[in-house]
Amino acid sequence: MKRTPQRSRVRRVLLSAVAVGLLATGCAGAGENAPDRPRTATVTPTAPTPASAVTPAGTLLVADFDADTVTFVDPARGPLGSVRVGTAPYGLAVGTDGRAWVATAEGVAVVDTKTRTSLGRIAYATKADGPATMGEYRAGGMGIALSPDGSRAYVGVNVPDEKGVLEVIDTGSRKVVDTVAVGRRPFDVDVSADGSEVYATGHDSYDVTAVRADTLRARRLEVAPYGTEGGLGSWLKPHYAAVRPADGKLLLPFEGERLAVLDPRTGRVTVEPMTANTHQHGTTLAPDGTLLVVGTGPIGGDDEEASLTLRTPDGKERVVPLDGAHENVAVSRDSRTAYVTGGFTREGSWDGITVVDLESGASRKVAAGVRPLGVAVLG
């Protein structure tokens, strides 16, 4: 029988509050002695892409968080080639024109995915203190999304120990045209279906910042189904969100136990039960409405191992086990296959993708880049 979550999670919050002054761990916060602190980039590049290459439909594009590249991956055979983009690429978004916008520590890189060529990099308006580094707490871009018409790219920029910044890029001129203060460590950025609002998920501030696309008016919406008592030392914070097309509400999973449903119009959060019982990160919606959530693995002795939750619109869940830590997920256009990256933001990541048949639950692994984090299906 699944344990009662309230007691163990609250206990973990209280323990985290005690520990944060000594050592911030995991997704908790950037303590002075935390593992995976920012470090100087040491990159071994992958093989160059042939100039004559044409990218087949269904190819995957992944952000190589422990390198300075994005890698093109055949989901059956593995890597096809890589393109240099900048230190520690995190999230990526691909437009209908085939151009990928990649959030790195140095700026937003633009890649032509059809020809696998770099189109340059856009520097952030928010200046980092010192050279670009690597690791979960590095400065620079994290979540990124495109407006529905492709005219704007929105990137959440992490500013260590301060509020984050949402930078607005005009994709035509490739220039930063606006900036807006948002929550701390903006893991994810999403856009409403009509493009009228942008949502930056602030991991370390327990919130989503809703920004009007036309006026840039920003509203802080707290999302903390376990409370905020643990502060920076807590694991129980938001990571990634998905915008539900039917009603525009944001879906934010927590710990395989609670799904926070945020109404951005009112700021009201309702909570629905989940069943995976594991720390959760990557989140996406399949074309058929199924919510997919990546379970990264246990953060406590009573947690389950890594998994992929498949949640239908009526709330029914099926949990598919995964082998080892994972971070993010993309879904094929026919809603039949999921691609789960092995580049967990914490220790325990691996250089590959797990391919999951969503009907049978069968899975297999394929090599993919260097600590692959963000992922998109091309074509």
Whole-number Å distance between alpha carbons of 353 and 185: 25
The dihedral built from the CA positions of residue 186, 191, 196 and 197, taken in this order, carries a sign that is negative
Report pLDDT digits (tens) over 111-128.
999 999 999 999 999 998
The dihedral built from the CA positions of residue 221, 227, 231 and 234, taken in this order, carries a sign that is negative
Residue 54's pLDDT is 83
Residue 188's pLDDT is 98
What single letter denotes the amino acid at residue 60?
L
Give 347's pLDDT tier (boundaries 50, 70, 90).
Answer: confident
Residue 225's pLDDT is 98
Whole-number Å distance between alpha carbons of 92 and 356: 21
Phi/psi of residue 287, each to 5°? -55, -30
Whole-number Å distance between alpha carbons of 342 and 282: 11
Mean pLDDT (the chain) is: 89
Whole-number Å distance between alpha carbons of 188 and 185: 9
Mean pLDDT within 72-96: 97
Into which CATH architecture does domain 59-226+237-377 fall? 7 Propeller (2.130)
Q: What's the pTM value of the predicted model, to 2 decimals? A: 0.91
Residue 2's pLDDT is 39
Paired strand residues for 48: 82
Two structure tokens written together for 296: 């990264």
Phi/psi of residue 152, each to 5°? -130, 145
Give 36's pLDDT tier (boundaries 50, 70, 90).
Answer: very low
Residue burial 162-197, b: 16+ Cβ < 10 Å; e: rest: ebbbbbbbebeeeebeeebebbbbbbbbbbbeebeb
Q: Where are the domains of the chain?
A: 59-226+237-377
Report pLDDT digits (tens) over 102-111.
999 999 999 9
Residue 25's pLDDT is 42
Position 62 pLDDT exceeds 50: yes
Q: DSSP character for 18?
A: H
Report pLDDT digits (tens) over 172-231.
999 999 999 999 999 999 999 999 999 999 999 999 999 999 999 999 999 999 999 989
Mean pLDDT within 30-39: 41
Report pLDDT digits (tens) over 239-275.
999 999 999 999 999 999 999 999 999 999 999 999 9
Give 52's pLDDT tier (boundaries 50, 70, 90).
Answer: low
Residue 348's pLDDT is 87
